[in-house]
Chain A
Amino acid sequence: MPRTMITPRLLASEDQTLTAPSISNQVAGEGPEASPEMPKMAITVRGLAKSYGFNGVLSGLDMDVSAGEVFTIFGPNGSGKTTLLRVLATLTRPDSGRVVINGFDFTREAALVRSTIGVVMHSSLLYGDLTGRENLRFYGRMFNLAEIENRINEVAERMNVAHRLDDKVRDLSHGLEKRVSFARALLHRPKLLLLDEPETGLDQNTLAIFEGLLADYRKVGGSVVMTTHSLERGLALADRVAILGGGKFVFVDSSDNIEPGELPGIFGRLTGERQ
């Protein structure tokens, strides 16, 4: 038997009133500005459903992520991890359900939701024929950032990609392109990072940068929702982990309660797949 199915605390904050954080220019650091107005919950999802034709991908999913929490989602291929992240990123409209992100209602305040999230997907979401700097400059303008050039230099330094920032993205290796993609996601100091299998295809150096970034981001109160196939790495980075199966979370628990060697067994039992 799995130790935890849906934990009671997952549903505890259903009626919690969320306060909208102020959207303001923030000064330094990679994470969000710590603010007394910041909502306690980064994400509240209730009854989320999404299907493509007759193929139900998410069916009545509930989810809570606290501010400052790293939440890792595991699941076999086709379990709906990417769909869930796309819904949270406002890229995919769900069939039903309520989503509140950083205090903003998903449907009525989608632009405000987007202003507080940073997203890294499988694809870099960059223009291959523009340089990394031109891409970041473009996104900086779209987010109406002040002092764009300074901010570009900051995030490029943080991702250790400043030396290749004036090369076309098309000419960069996968790892370097991913670093620029992270820089794009961090540019506007989001309060929440949504990362879809961010470690895929990265070398040890880039992985170290990524892990350092996550640690720093958590320190300043930033929240992270990450999907991954790497149980070991996902568990090591997370405050809580969840397993997605049948369109819902079939397991949610604090990473402190799970031994590293225990997770593959839980995953196999709940999903019927070996990891």
Chain B
Amino acid sequence: MKVRGRVPLGPVWAVAKKDLLLEVRNREIVISLLVFSGLIFIIFNFAIELTSANRDTVGPGVLWVAVAFASVLGLNRSFIIEKDGNALDGLLLTPVGRDTILIGKTVGNFIFMAAALVILFPVFTALFDVNVLKIEVFVIALLTILGLATVGTMFAALSVNTRAREIMLPVLFLPIAVPILISAVEGTARVTEGGGWGDALQWIEILAAFDVIFIVAALLTFQFLLED
């Protein structure tokens, strides 16, 4: 048995793989992400009068609002499974750093969100007639869900031990996620309005910067969030 100072990849992948296995068995997180996002798409599709003039500008806002709100459900669930049977204590009893657990859980949540987006993007394109199936939007999407998964996992860990965890997570998570969401909406709008890499690059850089800030902040604070 080896105990190392740096973050070991084996346990990181073990945590993520365990979450994926639980999700394959239960299908709770991805299904709830899809159903909730799909519902928001349908409501907005009826509520907003989209014209050729505003479609490419308004559409990205609808897309990322749906993803942000739906992700709250999935993030909450990802830590509730740890409370079942007090498995979180079992996880904390393993000789890995808390950062290893955070990264493993974040990787799992990132994969769940990415899996949901693979289905949501074509659905959104079909419903709103706004083409988001472009490489620039994929890059924006990956950076966005990386940030959402990092911040969301951190706050899900914090809120899971509170009595009002279903309320606590969105209250903590969504305000902090605003810079990521604004960058995602703006970057996606630049692309759907006909722009290319050059138009989206500024927002991609801002997204990447926020991702780095959130990842560092999460690694520095996560160990304190899980203490009794």
Where the two chains meet, the residues of B that have a C-beta atom closer than 8 Å to any C-beta of A are: 1-3, 8, 10-11, 14-15, 18, 21-22, 25-26, 81, 84-87, 89-97, 227-228
Contact = CB atoms under 8 A, between A and B. Distances in A.
A129 B22 contact: yes
Nearest to B226: A91
Interface in A75-92: 86, 89-92
12 contacts: A23-B2, A24-B1, A91-B92, A119-B89, A123-B89, A125-B89, A127-B81, A130-B18, A134-B21, A141-B11, A143-B1, A188-B1
Secondary structure of the A side of the interface? loop
Interface of A: 23-25, 86, 89-93, 111-112, 114-115, 117, 119, 121, 123-130, 134, 138-139, 141-146, 169, 184, 188
B40 to A, nearest CB: 28
A127 B81 CA distance: 8
Contact of A125 (B14, B81, B87): B87
Nearest to B92: A91
A115 B81 CA distance: 24
Secondary structure of the B side of the interface? helix
A93 B227 contact: yes
A111 B95 contact: yes
Nearest to B87: A127
A91 B86 CA distance: 12
Contacts of A121: 86, 89
A128 B85 contact: yes
Contact of B14 (A89, A124, A138): A138
A184 to B, nearest CB: 7
Nearest to A87: B228
